[in-house]
Every structure is written in C-alpha cells, then in structure tokens.
Structure 1
Amino acid sequence: MIQDPFFILLVGMLIVVGGIIGGKLNPFIALLLAALVVAWMTPASAIVDFALSKGQSQAAAEALAQRSIGERIADAFGSTVGKIGILIAMAAIIGKSMLMSGAAERIVRSILGLTGEKNAPLAFLSGSFFLGIPVFFDTVFYLMIPLAKAMAMRLKESYLLLVLCITAGAAMANSLVPPTPGPLFLIAEMDIPIGMMMVGGFLIGLVTIAAGYVFAVWANKRNPIPLRDSLDAPLSEIQSLADKPQSQLPGLGLAVSPIAIPLLLITGSAFISTFWGMDSSQTSPVFFDLIHFLGEKNMALILGAMAALLTLFLQRNKQEKGMKGAVQAALTSGGVIILITAAGGAFGAMLQQTGISLKIASLTEGYQMALIPLAFFITALVRTAQGSATVAMITASGILSGMSTAGLDYHHLYLGLSIACGSKLIPWMNDSGFWIVCKMSNLTEKEALKTFSPLLTIMGLVGLLTIMLAAKILPLV
C-alpha cells in the first residue's frame, strides 16, 4: 500500500497543498520537501520500470534506480532550470524594460484605440490564442503580462480578467493546434493528418476560449484581484507612465519590437519545420539555418530582451542607471520565480518516477467503450497526477494508439482532440506552468487555485462536450 503510486501522490499533494496554504511554508521549501518524500517512498523497481518505458536500456534504468534521492531531485531540478531558466530571466527583463520605457503603455493605448476599453479583454484573449499556436504557452504569458499590468492601470478592476484571458487563449492553442510539441506528437502517434488537427483544434479552441472568457468575467466580478505593487512593476511607475503624453512615449514600432522579434523568429522556425522540412533547407541552407538558429526559443527571447533594453536606453536618454536598475530588479524577481518553478518541476519528475502513468495505463488497458470520454479522462488523470500537459498527451496517445479504432462511427481526429482537451485538467502545484502564472502575475497560491485552475478545467470539459457533439453530428467518415 505504502508503495502504491496513488498513495504516494496523495502524500505529495498533502505536503504541498497543506504546507503552502495551511502551514504557510515558502513554495520552494514545500515543493522540495514533497519531492524528497515522494522520491524516498518510490521503490527502485518502479524507477526501473519508468526508465524502461522511456526507452532507456536495462543498465541505464538500474543505474537511475541506484542513484541517491538527492541526485535524482537535483537532476530533475536542473533539467527544469535548463528548460525555463533563460526564458524566465529574459522575460523578466523584457517586462521590466517595457514598463519602464513606456513601451507597454504605448501598446496599450494603441489597443484601446482599436477596440475601446470594453473590448480590451477580448483583444487579449484572441491575441494570446493566435500567438499560442506557434509559440509555447509560457512564452506567450511572459510577453503579454507587462501589457496586462499596464492595461489594468487604465481599466481598474480588470487585472484578473486580463490575466485569465491571456492564460485561456494561450493554454488552449498550445494543446490543440500544431505545431506545438504535444499536438505534433499526438498526430504522429495516432496517425491524424496535420491539416485536420489544425482545423479541428482551431474550431474547438474557439469554443473553449469563449467558455473561458465567460468564466473569467464571472471570476473577476466575484472576487476582483487588484494590480499589486511589486519590485519588477511598481504601481507608482506604471501610473506615471499612464499620465505621460504620447509624444514622450516610444513609437509603436519600437514599442512592439521586444514582443514582435521573438514571436516572428519562433513562428518562422516552427513554420519552416512543419511545412517545408529538410527539402527546403537544401535549396536555401543559409537562410533556413539562420532562421532555426535565431528562432530557438532561448535565442529569440534573448534578442527580445536586447530590443527591450535598447528601447529603454533610447527612452531614458541613455541613462546608465535606468538600464542597470531595470536588469537588477528583473533578475531579482525572476530568480525567485526560476527557483520555485524548478522545484515544481522536480516534484513532478519524482511523481513520474513512481510509475503513476504506467499504473493508469494498466488500469485502462483493453477498455474500448466510450473512447472519446475515456481518452479525455485518462489524459486528465495523468495531467493531474504528474503535472505536465505534454507528458499526459504522450501517455494517453500511447494508450489509445494501441487500441483498435477500426469500426468507429467517427474519425479518430476526435480522439486526438479529446486527449488535447483532457490535458488541461487540473493544474496545481506540481505543474511548472502554475507557478509561472502565479508568480509572474503576483497572484497568491490560493487565488491561483480558485481562478486559474478552474478556468482550464472548465475549458477542458467544454471541449469534451463539444467534441462528443461534433463526433455525433459531423463524424467525418
């Protein structure tokens, strides 16, 4: 019993949720403590089975199981830092520089000029959805959160609504529409045409973000969360920029460059990889190599940070103090976010090593009735258990691809879409994305659990219902 993956998961959840909310522990300490206990409770045989399921050799799997608890946690911690460390640091610099230079304020005024104050949240929702198609969820959030802070200063009691609009759009696009990694793996594993997945994912995404917007409006009215003072975005500084005449703000082209440069580079690289592949690189190797080099997400965010600092440098009349202050404040706040997010990644990795995904797969083996909701709930269970939406999609697609889809009354595209929607349930403290949203938006853990977590859960469930209805009305077979 004590070595059962579900029991270990329960213990880990109690330590994290109880420690942070009940015991008022710092999230970094609570997550590391939970990772330590989960790793200690996990038997060596489970670690071996987990490693073998990931394609490692028997020798490598046994070597992993023999490593000390501290080494396994440190490796997972370092792996997470390798994935998000530079991104968060550069995003923090971009956000701080855009706020200090007035670039965020300039963009906000342009958005309001096009949409008006009433429709500004819808502009954030649709913008994050379209940006989330070629760009990772966290990158979209990094780039748009300074705009949300500047916009909230004007709209007053709408900060939570803007944050939820950004997360709703980017999260759904990231799981539903290729070429992001989860959908790409899913269509390859389940033999779904990429064009069908793109169109289907886009249409289901529109329905789900509409539901997300309704919830976001309700949550913002029920419990409005104010824009809070913080080291990286002091309210006095945002207000002073809001009061400036437009002539003292940067031009629109210069203002959008910290966002446009990384987005265009990442999108260009993804577009080339998806639709041209190696054949086009043979016709123009220098051009494609350059796009792939600059479009790598870390490199693209570094270039975006350079553009943000250049904008600040020009706006602050080349004052060295303004530049140094921006970088110092950004890295101070960004460093804390990196530590907490990496600890969340380590906790999630230790949960994965318990073999909980394999346990879920064995419980559902051979069960082929009601495949669409089955696909959804398998994915949701894996996501909730170990934290990663991509891992949940990979696990569920592996299970479903082994089942016979012959004789279905609908196209198996709907199974893929169901897996994508299931990967939204339920984000909590074992998910690095939860901590990114929580800390960069200055929400407390309790506030994030009451707003961000149900937002994604509701959108996932609406997606399931929409998919089941579509499979009945338009089976595509």
Structure 2
Amino acid sequence: MTRLSVEMLAADAPEPITSAGHAQLGIAVLAGIAVIVLLITKFKLHAFLALTIGSLALGAFAGAPLDKVLTSFSTGLGSTVAGVGVLIALGAVLGKMLADSGGADQIVDTILDKAGGRSMPWAMVLIASVIGLPLFFEVGIVLLIPVVLMVAKRGNYSLMRIGIPALAGLSVMHGLVPPHPGPLVAIDAVKADLGVTLALGVLVAVPTVIIAGPLFSRYAAKWVDVPAPERMIPQRASEELDRRPGFGATLFTVLLPVILMLAKALVDIVIDDPENLLQRVFDVIGAPMIALLASVLVGIFTLLRPAGYAKERISPLVEKSLGPIAGILLIVGAGGGFKQTLIDSGVGRMVLEISEDWSIPALLLAWLIAVAIRLATGSATVATVSAAGLVAPLAADMSTTHAALLVLAIGAGSLFLSHVNDAGFWLVKEYFGLSVGQNLKTWSVMECIISVVAGGVVLLLSLVI
C-alpha cells in the first residue's frame, strides 16, 4: 500500500471519536484486549460481557467521550448481528435437522462402509469436512466423537490415527469456510465477496486438512498411544429412529448452500454485468441468506420427512436449534461492537499507517494479530472479530481476491495453538480421555499446523492471483 493510498483512505474515513495519538491508541488497544483476556481467563466471565466491558475500557484509555463509545459499540453490535445473525440462525437450524434426522449418521456410515485399512484416516477427514460445513465446531464434535471412538475400537485403530483427521476437518471448516460465524464476521468487516472467499477457503482448506489430518495423525499416534475410552461412547441420534434419509439426498442438502454461493461467484466473474438478468437471478439465489434458507426448506423434505417427522414436529425442532446459539450471537455481536469501537477510535487508521511504515504485508499482519488475540483469549471467534476490526481498513484498496485472502489470513491466525484457555481444548481432552500433556502434543500441535499451513498457503496464493 502506497503512502498516497493511505492518505486517501485516511481522508475518506470518518473523524475519530478521540484525538489520541498513536502511542495512546496503542496503549488503549493493549489495555482493552488485556481487560478482555483478564475477564475471560481469570474471572471466567462470559465473552459477551468481557467484550462489552473491554470496548468501554478501550474507549476510556483512548480518551473518547463515553456517549460516543456507547454509540460506536451499539452501532457495531447492531450491524454485525444484522449482517450475520440470520445466517448463523439458519446454519443452526440446518445443523439440527441434519443431526436429529439421522442424516449426519447416514453420511458417516455410507463413507465408512466404503473405507477400511489405510484409507480410514482419509475417510474420517472427508466425513468431518462434509459434516463440518453446516455445523458449529462443538456440534460437529458431539456428532463425530461416537463414530471416532467406535471406529477406533472395532477396527483396532489408534485413537489419534482416527481422531486427529476428524478434528482437523472440523477445525479447518470452522476457521476458514463460511457460513461459520468467524469467517462471516470477517467477510462483513473487510467487505469481502462471500462467494470468492468460500471458493478460496475451500482451496486453502484442502492442503491444510490433508497435512494437519491424515499426515500429522501418523506422528500423533506414535506420540500418544491411548485406547478409545468406552465410557465416552454416547448413543447416536439415528439409533432412536425407525428410518433415516438417503445418502444422496442428505449430501445434496448439505452442499446446496455451497453450490448456490459458488455459482453466484462464478456467474459474477463470467458475465460481470450487474444489469444482466441471469446475473441478477444468481445474485439473489446465491446470496448467503437465500442459499441457507433454500437448504433448510429443502431439508424439510429430504431430511425430516424421510425420518418420519410430521409437520407438527418441525416447529419445535427449529425452536430447539435456536436456543443454543444465543450465546454465539451475543459474542459475535459484541465482537462487532468492539471492532467498531476500534475503528471509530482511529485504531484502523493507525494500523494503516504503521503497516505502511514498517512494510509488513497486510496478510501477514492480519495473521499475526489474530494469532496474538487467539493466544491471549483462547477464542477463535473473538480473535477473528477483533483482528478483522483492526485490519479492515487495509482491504479498502485491495482486489476482490486479496480481500478474500485477508479474511482467510485472519481465520488461519485465529486457530493457532489451542491451549488451556480454550473451551475446545477441554472438550477434546475429556472426550478422548487424554491428559493435559497428551492433549497439548496432539490437539494443540494440530491447531498450530492448521494455522501455519493455511497462513502459508494464503501468502502463496497472494503471489499468484
């Protein structure tokens, strides 16, 4: 980015709510993040409350009037929830339908029937990647852990040889591929094209998941050789069903939003005429909300009806799916408020000028910021929304593809080194029956590999596209 472009962006930006210089703003950012980290890790406060208080602390340290800080936070929260809230809700509904209908189990069992021996780790990473597209990470864990444990026990496989590929598939989807909350928030913050980000996200995900999954699992199995804990094998959803949906129909339903969004991106590139009727049609059906809504509506007929769901049971299922995501929506919204407070305080302009002075590539800077916040807070989502707010101004004069790569760099950094301050760390530890040390040598190392490999692939792509 040239000095001229930085000055142009600074001129176009709204007047900051504070007149603080770079040094005070830098201290304010560190103080705000420190408050968030302390509240989450030391006082075990919910991330929504921590982000809210951290935003106020940021504004106070930056010397901004409290009423303007409140306005910035509220504006950011509202715009973020407006941008991604419906998408998160639709994704939760689709995930609940997939789980309760037995559709997820159908995908798992069909692929496992075709796999065996050395191909089993590859089958697990394929299953996790497909299941992980519409599901939140925690839901995917709950769905796949019974399968991982049963396969490891019945096939006499090392638990790590089977489990690491499944975890890698879920984690990569969670951090890099929309419609997961983190990537969606970053896309909204940097004004990236969702279809292009989705396509590039899948491109980055493939080598990343191969290296961090099946390949790394060979070493993880040697480092930590533990049996599958029988006490952790829960009942699968489909065991309570008389019948379940077919494999083809289930796979189509899961992939439908991806197909529609990618089709929109392709039509936009090929036709590139906003007045063209075909492009306008695809702009509508390929919009994230319409694509996910279409998948949910199709799922009623391809997932719920074949599983024996009468129409009276559909509304209660949707209601049950929305309750658990309330916390996620609040965290994402508060993250958007924190992001807007950063921008309105002038931190975005400061990052622009510093990155130009230091000659740090924007993608590398985004990755490093996300890594730092991830290490401090333990939350990939908090790391994503905070880093996106800091580096969003860098995308202002980027091409469509490079803006998408900026989102992916943030997502890659947000996955780095899950450790004791991350809820996912303890979830994996308990399900797999590992000690803290064993979990650090397997799960935590896998997360580092995902972050570094994905970040490296993003940087390589930035040189060729």
Normalised by the length of structure 1, the TM-score is 0.63
List gaps (5 residues or longer) in structure 1: 45-64, 129-138, 175-179, 188-194, 228-233, 402-412, 430-436
Q: Which residue of 2 aligns with 1:275?
A: 270
Q: Which residue of 1 aligns with 2:154?
A: none
Structure 1: how far apart are the matches of 2:460 and 2:91? 40
Residue 291 of structure 1: how far off its partner (Å): 2.3
Q: Which residue of 2 aligns with 1:347?
A: 338
The answer (yes or no) to whether the contact 1:427–1:453 under 8 Å persists in 2 is no
Structure 1: how far apart are the matches of 2:264 and 2:236? 36
Residue 330, structure 1, aligned to residue 315, structure 2: no
Residue 94, structure 1, aligned to residue 85, structure 2: no
Residue 202 of structure 1: how far off its partner (Å): 8.4
Residue 363, structure 1, aligned to residue 354, structure 2: yes
The answer (yes or no) to whether the contact 1:115–1:123 under 8 Å persists in 2 is no
Counterpart of 1:35 in structure 2: which amino acid?
A: S
Residue 23, structure 1, aligned to residue 43, structure 2: yes
1:379 corresponds, among 342, 345, 366, to 366
Residue 419 of structure 1: how far off its partner (Å): 6.3
3-state SS in 1 of match to 2:290: helix
The answer (yes or no) to whether the contact 1:255–1:311 under 8 Å persists in 2 is yes
3-state SS in 1 of match to 2:356: coil
Counterpart of 2:245 in structure 1: which amino acid?
A: P
Counterpart of 2:339 in structure 1: which amino acid?
A: G
3-state SS in 2 of match to 1:82: helix
Q: Please show how residues 310-329 of structure 1 align to structure 2 within 5 Å.
A: 310-329=301-320
The answer (yes or no) to whether the contact 1:148–1:159 under 8 Å persists in 2 is no
Q: Which residue of 2 aligns with 1:118?
A: 121
Counterpart of 1:292 in structure 2: which amino acid?
A: D
Structure 2: how far apart are the matches of 1:13 and 1:217? 38
Aligned-pair Cα RMSD in Å: 5.0
Distance verdict in 2 for CA 1:41–1:19, change over 3 Å: same
Residue 333 of structure 1: how far off its partner (Å): 0.9
Structure 1: how far apart are the matches of 2:81 and 2:407? 26
3-state SS in 1 of match to 2:169: helix
Structure 2: how far apart are the matches of 1:205 and 1:35? 33
Structure 2: how far apart are the matches of 1:288 and 1:399? 25
The answer (yes or no) to whether the contact 1:357–1:382 under 8 Å persists in 2 is no
Moved more, 357-366 or 392-401: 392-401
3-state SS in 1 of match to 2:308: coil
Percent sequence identity is 18
The answer (yes or no) to whether the contact 2:192–2:403 under 8 Å persists in 1 is yes
Distance verdict in 2 for CA 1:295–1:120, change over 3 Å: same
Q: Which residue of 2 aligns with 1:162?
A: 166
The answer (yes or no) to whether the contact 2:52–2:334 under 8 Å persists in 1 is yes
Q: Please show how residues 4-403 of structure 1 align to structure 2 within 5 Å.
A: 4-44=24-64, 68-116=68-116, 117-124=120-127, 140=133, 142=135, 149-156=142-149, 161-168=165-172, 171=175, 207-213=207-213, 235-236=234-235, 238=237, 240=239, 248-278=243-273, 282=276, 285=277, 287-367=278-358, 374-383=361-370, 384=372, 387-388=384-385, 395-396=393-394
Aligned residues: 388
List gaps (5 residues or longer) in structure 2: 1-19, 150-158, 179-185, 374-382, 417-421, 430-435
Structure 2: how far apart are the matches of 1:113 and 1:288? 41
Residue 296 of structure 1: how far off its partner (Å): 0.6
The answer (yes or no) to whether the contact 1:357–1:395 under 8 Å persists in 2 is yes
Distance verdict in 2 for CA 1:367–1:21, change over 3 Å: closer
1:318-346 deviation digits (Å, cap 9, x = unpaired): 43453233112101112232112212222
